[in-house]
């Protein structure tokens, strides 16, 4: 890992094993961007200006389990008793990880789907992702600037915080505006409406999330949690034919968010060419594989 003057964008998926569309989107988006380098100007500008890091499968053991138990959510960590697994997106060591006032945000019960684990940051998958980010921030002088964690379903574009429905911080309006730009851009691709807002008010209270940890502990102030297609007709069982359109929407929305970052923080991305905010077609890249 080298010192760089290029900001980094980290995209994760597969934290919840049943959310197959998130991993399918990430793998295909990676293919679109690598194939588009040199032929698609928007993609070329993105890759010239940013370090791009994909972690398309945060929870591989849980994903493997989801082929036997399709709606399995947690990892496969073993504990005393009959219950298995930690909800990785409740295990990150945020300050509010085990707030007893907020029983909605996570569960202390190992049998619950939102079990936060026996201790903050205790899951090996959580530790691995945090180690990646900490090492990157340490060796590059904090150049990881944008974090996008993808999930399904509900069609939402969210930002911190998950644990406090009344939180205020200096970047709040900026993240609100950039999220509005991203969702407007997504709407222009296939007409799908994504709602946006802070995690707590937009979907539900959630403590110990990756997005809150990246924002507060890793100083990645552009941290987002996305819920991909659909809004409930298929839920977690999204048909494979929806992969292509989902990739196209995320290609457009993520580039719009990057454009929002560049326009507001040009000195943080000195090598980045201006990226048009909307619309952002995939034209001239390789076909998306379903």
Q: List, by residue number, the catalytic residues.
A: 227
Per 3-state DSSP, what percentage of the chain is helix, strand, and coil (rounded to 5)?
40, 15, 50
Rounded to whole angstroms, how far apart are CA atoms 210 and 130? 9
CB contact set of 51 (below 8 Å; sequence gap of 6+): 4, 6, 7, 8, 9, 143
Residue 161 Cα to chain centre, angstroms:
14
User: What residues form DSSP beta bridges with 144?
Assistant: 8
Rounded to whole angstroms, how far apart are CA atoms 148 and 151? 10
SS3 state at 159: strand
Rounded to whole angstroms, how far apart are CA atoms 143 and 3? 9
Residue 206 Cα to chain centre, angstroms:
15
Listed residue (251, 257, 175, 173) closest to 212, CA to CA: 175
Q: Where are the beta strands (DSSP E) in 127-230?
A: 144-152, 156-159, 195-198, 222-228
Count other Cβ atoms within 10 Å, centred on residue 137: 16
Give me the phi and psi of 63, to 5 degrees please: -60, -45
């Amino acid at each position: 890992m080298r010192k760089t003057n290029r900001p980094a964008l980290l995209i994760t998926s597969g934290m919840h094993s049943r959310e197959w569309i998130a991993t399918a989107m990430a793998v295909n988006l990676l293919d679109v961007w690598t194939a588009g380098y040199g032929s698609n100007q928007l993609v070329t500008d993105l890759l010239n200006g940013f370090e791009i890091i994909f972690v398309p499968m945060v929870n591989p053991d849980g994903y493997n389990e989801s082929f036997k138990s399709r709606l399995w959510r947690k990892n496969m960590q073993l504990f005393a008793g009959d219950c298995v697994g930690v909800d990785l997106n409740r295990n990150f060591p945020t300050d509010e990880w085990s707030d007893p006032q907020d029983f909605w945000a996570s569960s202390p019960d190992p049998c619950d789907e939102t079990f936060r684990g026996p201790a903050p940051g205790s899951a090996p998958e959580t530790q691995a992702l945090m180690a990646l980010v900490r090492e990157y921030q340490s060796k590059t002088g904090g150049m990881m600037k944008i974090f996008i964690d993808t999930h399904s379903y509900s069609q939402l574009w969210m930002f911190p915080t998950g644990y406090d429905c009344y939180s205020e911080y200096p970047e709040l309006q900026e993240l609100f505006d950039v999220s509005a730009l991203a969702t407007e851009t997504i709407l222009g691709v296939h007409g799908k409406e994504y709602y946006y807002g802070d995690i707590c008010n937009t979907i539900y209270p959630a403590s110990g999330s990756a997005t809150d940890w990246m924002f507060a502990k890793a100083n990645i102030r552009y941290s987002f949690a996305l819920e991909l297609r659909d809004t409930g007709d298929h839920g977690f069982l999204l048909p494979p034919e929806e992969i292509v359109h989902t990739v196209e929407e995320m290609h457009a929305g993520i580039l719009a968010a990057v454009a929002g970052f560049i326009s507001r923080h040009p000195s943080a991305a000195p090598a980045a060419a201006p990226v048009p905010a909307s619309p952002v077609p995939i034209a001239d890249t390789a076909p998306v594989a379903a």
